[in-house]
């Protein structure tokens, strides 16, 4: 049986890994999808173990390179269809979550919103571009 190389055309891009110490909305780096026609999915996580607060990750899209026209990607253009919420008081929030985006605009980013009880978290956002298979909601 032949072994097929799945990672050759894939690329992982680190978009966010900067500590947040207060209630705020922080944005990941902007991903230009011009060269990635096979889809994009995001792996997101956070170190909420150091905090009592919550963090919400929302995929945004825009036609402008500086995202001045950023809007939330429509639920119909997401595999799971909702924001990723990480809660320090919920054990299910540990680990990594994923979301595939089929944006209609060229640029994508993740908006990370923390609540008033956040003392210190480090968000993690990695984009996987040109994946061989976009994840499905059953995963």
Query: CB–CB of 55/44 below 8 Å?
Result: no
Distance (Å, whole) CA 57 – CA 4: 34
Q: Which pLDDT does position 44 carry in this prediction?
A: 86
Q: pTM for this one?
A: 0.81
Q: What is the pLDDT of residues 44-101, one digit of tens each?
A: 888 755 556 788 889 999 999 999 999 998 888 888 877 787 776 554 555 677 888 8
Q: Phi first, then psi: what are they for 32, rounded to 5°?
A: -85, 115
**Strands 123-129, 71-72: pairing kind:** unpaired
Q: CATH second-level architecture of 20-129?
A: Sandwich (2.60)
Q: What is the pLDDT of residues 11-49, one digit of tens each?
A: 889 999 888 888 889 999 999 988 776 678 888 888 755
What residue segments make up the domains of the chain, in order of their start?
Answer: 20-129
Per-residue pLDDT for 111 more than 70?
yes
Per-residue pLDDT for 138 more than 80?
no
DSSP lists the bridge partners of residue 99 as 42
């Amino acid at each position: 049986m032949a072994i097929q190389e799945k990672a050759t055309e894939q690329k992982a891009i680190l978009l966010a890994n900067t500590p947040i110490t207060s209630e705020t909305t922080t944005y990941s780096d902007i991903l230009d999808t011009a060269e990635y026609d096979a889809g994009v999915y995001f792996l997101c996580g956070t170190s909420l173990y150091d905090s009592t607060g919550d963090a919400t990750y929302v995929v945004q899209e825009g036609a402008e390179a500086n995202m001045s026209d950023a809007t939330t990607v429509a639920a119909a253009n997401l595999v799971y269809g909702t924001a990723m919420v990480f809660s320090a008081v919920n054990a299910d929030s540990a680990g990594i979550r994923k979301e595939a985006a089929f944006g209609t605009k060229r640029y994508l980013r993740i908006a990370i919103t923390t609540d008033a009880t956040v003392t210190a978290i480090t968000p993690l956002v990695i984009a996987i571009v040109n994946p061989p298979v976009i994840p499905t909601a059953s995963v």
